[in-house]
Every structure is written in structure tokens, then in C-alpha cells.
Amino acid sequence: MTKNDAINDINFGGPATYRIVVKGALSQDWSPRLEGMTITVTTSPSGSSHTELVGLLRDQAQLNGVLETLYELHLPILRIEEGAGSDQTANQGNVKMGGQQ
């Protein structure tokens, strides 16, 4: 497989369900600004919080808008997964950021 074949196998055109995890707590009030994604905040016993956003986004432009909003809020992105909450495997399309596992 050539490099161009691998690039052609990537589909960025259609809707997909995404799971985005950020460091910090985000209020439910932000859901409309984040394309209606479901917001779940988890706090560890040590007191650190992580926010999980899950929702269907229509395309890469809408995903970019969500990521830009999170960036403007200074929330470090820990993980982005495509296919979360669907019949696909949890790791399919997985992108890990910031060295997180």
C-alpha cells in the first residue's frame, strides 16, 4: 500500500459520533454551544476533574468548531475517539492526544 492509498482510505466527509475527553469540569450549560453534545463530569478521589463530551457531529467542520470552543475555554484535550457510542469498536478511529493512554 502506498502512502496515497492510505490517505484515500480516510473518510472525513460524513457524520460520526465522537467522544472527547478534556481536563477540567465543564458545565451542562455549554452543551448548546458544543453542538448539543452530552456532557459528563467525573471527579477522581484526588479531586481532579475530567469532562467527557459525546455526540453525533455532521462533519469535520463541526468537529473543528467544538475543538475550537474547548481551546478558547483553555481546556486541555486528553482524547478524541471517533465511533464512540456506536456499533464500532471503541478504539476504531481513536486519536490520543497529549501522550494519554
pLDDT of residue 10: 58
Q: Delineate the domains of the chain, giving CATH numbers in brackets.
A: 13-85 (3.30.70.2040)
How far apart CA 52 and CA 71 sit, in angstroms, is 15
pLDDT of residue 2: 60
- 3-class SS at 49? strand
User: 17 forms bridges with which residues in the sheet?
Assistant: 56
pLDDT of residue 94: 43
pLDDT of residue 12: 63
pLDDT of residue 14: 84
pLDDT of residue 6: 55
Question: pTM score, two decimals?
Answer: 0.73
Q: Do 87 and 45 meet the contact criterion of CB atoms below 8 Å apart?
A: no
Long-range Cβ contact pairs of 41-46 (< 8 A, separation 24 or more): none
Spans in the chain with pLDDT lower than 70: 1-13, 84-101
Task: Residue 55: name the closest of 39, 37, 43, 72 by CA.
Answer: 37
